Structure 1
Amino acid sequence: MTLPLKITLLSALLLLGACRSEPIAFHTLTPAHLSPSTRAEAGGVRIESISVPPQVDRAQIVIRQGDSGLAILETQWWAATLADELRSALVDQLANSNARQAVALRVEVQRFDSVPGQYALLDVRWRLRQVNGDRPALTCRTTLQSPAGPSIDELVVAHQNNLKRFAALINQTVDTSLKGCPTTP
C-alpha cells in the first residue's frame, strides 16, 4: 500500500470516528419502586385527558436556560411523549387510591419547567368529577416545585417527586368526596 493511500484511509477513519454521536439516554417519570396496590374494587380514578404546553410536548427533554431560553436535549429523551409519561406515572401513583366511587380526572399542565441544578416545577390545572354522581365537578390549580441536582437523572427524580405529591393531593381530594381543593404544603 502506498503512503498517500494509507494517509487517506487513516484520515477517513479519523473523520468518521469524530462524527460519532452520543448515545440517546431514555428517562421515565414512573419511579422504579412502587408500593403494592391497595386499590378499592368499587371505585378508582380514571384519567380522561392530559395536555401539556407545546414547548415541552416532545420526546426530547426540554430544559430552561436563563430567563427566556429553552434547550432541547437531543441525547436525553423521555421513554414516551411527555403526555404519555405523565399519564403512566399518574396511573401508577393513583393505583393506590382508596376511592369508594369512580371519578374522572382531567389534567392541563400549565408549566413543566426543568432547570438542572435548581428545580423541577409542575404547574397544573386539574378537574375531578364523579362518574355517576350529582356533585358538580371540582377544578383546582396546583403548583409544585422540587429541588434538582445538576444531572438530568436528578432532574427527572425531582419531577417524579412532584408527580408523587400531585397524586397524593388528588387522592386527598377524592377521599374528601370532592368537597374542595387541597392546600399545597
Structure 2
Amino acid sequence: MALPLKFTLVTAMLLLAACRSDPIQFHTLTPAQEGNHSRTTVGVIQIESISVPPQVDRAQIVIREGNSGLAILETQWWGATLVDELRSALVDQLSNSPVQGRHSVRVDVQRFDSVPGQYALMDVEWRLRSASTGDTARLICRSTLQTPSGASIDDLVLAQQNNVKRLAALISQAAVRPQATCPAP
C-alpha cells in the first residue's frame, strides 16, 4: 500500500514541476534618472492625446519577425500598456523642456517596430499647439526615429527609450522656437 502512495506523490510532484512557467520581466520606456533633477519649469508642454497602433498597444512587448510576422512575448511585458508607457516617458522627458508659455501636443504613433538584433523604430505624427495663440497656430510634423539595437529585449527597450528621448527633444525644440517648420530628427 505504501508503494502506490509514494508513486502517486512522486508523479504529482513531477507534474507540478513541469507546469512551472518562466517569470515575467517588466520593462519601461522611462529611463532611470541619475543625479539631482530639481526641475525649474518656466513653461509647460501638456500631452493632449497619444495613440499607438492596436497591434502593439498591450502589456506584452511585441516584436517584428521577418517581413510580415509579429510575436507577442508572453514573459516580457511593459510596466503598463504601451500607450501609457509612452505617455509617462514623454511627460518625464518634456518636464525638462526649456519652453516659455503653455503648449500642448498630440502624438499619433504610426509604427512602433522592435526588431531584435537590428533596430527599434518609431514613426510618429505630432501636432504642437501654443495655448497663447489658440488653435490657429498649429505645427504638424512627422518624425521617423530609428535606433540600432542589440539582440536582447533590454537592448530593444533601451533603443526605444532613445527614440522617445529624441521625439521629446524635437517637440521641445519646436516649442522653443515658434517657426512654421518642423525640426529635423
TM-score bracket relative to the smaller structure: over 0.9
Partner of 2:67: 67
Query: Superposition RMSD on alpha carbons, in Å?
Result: 1.4
Which residue identity is paired with 1:89?
A
Asked if the contact 1:60–1:78 (Cα under 8 Å) also holds between the matched residues in 2, the reply is: yes
Give the distance between the partners of 1:37 and 1:140, measured in 2 at CA: 30
- Note the residue ranges of structure 2 that are not aligned, 5 or more in a row: none
Q: How far apart are residue 136 of structure 1 and its match? A: 1.9
Alignment of 1:100-115 (within 5 A): 100-115=100-115
Give the distance between the partners of 2:181 and 2:39, measured in 1 at CA: 24
Asked if the contact 2:41–2:95 (Cα under 8 Å) also holds between the matched residues in 1, the reply is: no
SS at match of 1:110: strand
**Matched residue count:** 183
Give the distance between the partners of 1:115 and 1:92, measured in 2 at CA: 25
TM-score of the superposed pair, with normalisation by structure 2 = 0.94
Give the distance between the partners of 1:45 and 1:22, measured in 2 at CA: 40
- Note the residue ranges of structure 1 that are not aligned, 5 or more in a row: none
Partner of 2:23: 23
Partner of 2:125: 125
Give the distance between the partners of 1:9 and 1:70, measured in 2 at CA: 41
Which residue identity is paired with 2:165?
K
Which residue identity is paired with 1:76?
Q
1:6-33 residue CA offsets vs partner (Å, 9 max, x unmatched): 1121111111101011111110000002
TM-score of the superposed pair, with normalisation by structure 1 = 0.94
Partner of 1:143: 144
1:123-164 residue CA offsets vs partner (Å, 9 max, x unmatched): 100000111215521100000111111111111000001111
Which residue identity is paired with 1:62?
V
SS at match of 1:72: strand
Q: How far apart are residue 40 of structure 1 and its match? A: 3.3
- Percent of aligned pairs sharing the same letter: 65
Give the distance between the partners of 1:180 and 1:118, measured in 2 at CA: 31
Alignment of 1:1-185 (within 5 A): 2-33=2-33, 36-41=37-42, 43-134=43-134, 136-184=137-185
Give the distance between the partners of 1:117 and 1:48, measured in 2 at CA: 34
Which residue identity is paired with 1:177?
P
Asked if the contact 1:109–1:125 (Cα under 8 Å) also holds between the matched residues in 2, the reply is: yes
Q: How far apart are residue 39 of structure 1 and its match? A: 4.3
